[in-house]
Structure 1
Amino acid sequence: MAEVTAEARIEAPAEKVWSKLTDFSVFGEWSATHTGFPKGAPTSLEQGGTFEENMKLMGFPAEVTWTVEELEPGRTLAIRGKGPMGVTVGTRYSVTPDGDGTKVRIDGEFTGAAVSLMAGKLKDSATAALNESLRKLDGLVA
């Protein structure tokens, strides 16, 4: 298993950050791993809902079928997906008001036999991608 975390403070109200975070029409503008939605971007989120995403991590393309595991509008979105080679990916986005700004945290988890072979490189690559994503999200929200 490989676990990664990135956190940033964005100088904008939590509602504005959440709005951009969950607007899948602009997902590719800030998510560093996103390359497309093969069946179209999700138009709404609901617990148990599913969607497919094309991604690229460590230079490798992957198609992931995501399921929304937890949704607390304005606060938390947790999704879990099945990727290639039996890899399971979990991503949790947390939005917390912080004075005039917002703390945003992204936690990622990768499990499966293929992960153990490259856990160190995967952690480095995923952490860099999460930090870049938060930087881009900050620019998009500002």
Structure 2
Amino acid sequence: MAEVSAEARIEAPAEKVWAQLTDFTAYGEWNATHTSFPNGGPDTLETGATFVENMKLMGFPAEVTWTVEELETTRVLAIRGKGPMGVNVGTRYALAADGAATTVRIDGEFTGAAVSLMAGKLKDSATAALNESLRKLAGLVT
């Protein structure tokens, strides 16, 4: 298993950050690993909703079928997905209001046989992508 995380304080209210985070039509403007939603984002953002995302990590394209596991508007969005080569992926976005700002934490995990072969490089690449994503997200909402 490979686990990664990143956190940033964004100078915008949680509602504004959440609106950008869950605007699937603009996902590629801030998410560093996202390339497309072949069928669009989830029809309705709710627990149990599914959607397919094309991503690129470590230079490799991957299609992931996601399911929304946890949803608490303006606070938590957790998704779990199945990717190629038996890799399972989990991503959890947690927002905490901090006055007029918001602390955003992203936690990710990768499991599966293929992950053990490249765990170190995967952690480095995914952590860099999370930090870049938070920087871009902050740029869109501040």
Superposition TM-score, scaled by structure 2 size: 0.98
Q: CA deviation at 1:43?
A: 4.0
Give the superposition deviation at 1:100: 1.5
* d(CA) in 1 for partners of 2:35, 2:105: 21
Q: 2:56: which partner in 1?
A: 56
Q: Structure 1: which amino acid aligns with 2:44?
A: S
Q: Distance in 2 between matches of 1:21 and 1:99?
A: 19
Q: Deviations over 1:23-52 (max 9, x none)?
A: 101100000000000112334301001000
| Aligned counterpart, 1:22 | 22
Residue 101 (structure 2) aligns with: 101
Alignment of 1:1-142 (within 5 A): 1-142=1-142
Structure 1 spans left out of the alignment, 5+ residues: none
Instruction: Confirm or deny: 8 A CA contact 1:24 1:41 kept in the other structure.
Output: yes
Runs of 4+ in 1 over 4 A off after TM superposition: none
Structure 2 residues not aligned, in runs of 5+? none
Alpha-carbon separation, structure 2, partners of 1:13 and 1:25: 21
Deviation at 1:110, TM superposition (A): 0.1
How many percent of aligned residue pairs carry the same amino acid?
A: 80
- Give TM-score scaled by structure 1 length: 0.98
Amino acid at match of 1:113: A
Q: Specify the SS of the correspondent of 2:114.
A: helix
C-alpha contact (below 8 Å) 1:24/1:43 kept by paired residues: no
RMSD over equivalenced CA pairs, Å: 0.6
| Residues 6, 130 of structure 1: 8 Å contact kept | yes
Cα distance in 2 between the residues matched to 1:85 and 1:105: 28
Which secondary structure does the structure 1 equivalent of 2:74 belong to?
coil
Aligned 8 A contact 2:52 2:66 in 1:
yes
SS in 2 for 1:114: helix
Structure 1 distance, partners of 2:135, 2:44, is 25
Report how many aligned residue pairs link the two structures: 142
In structure 2, how many angstroms separate the alpha carbons of the residues matched to 1:35 and 1:20?
Answer: 17
Whether the 8 Å contact between 1:12 and 1:141 is mirrored in structure 2 is yes
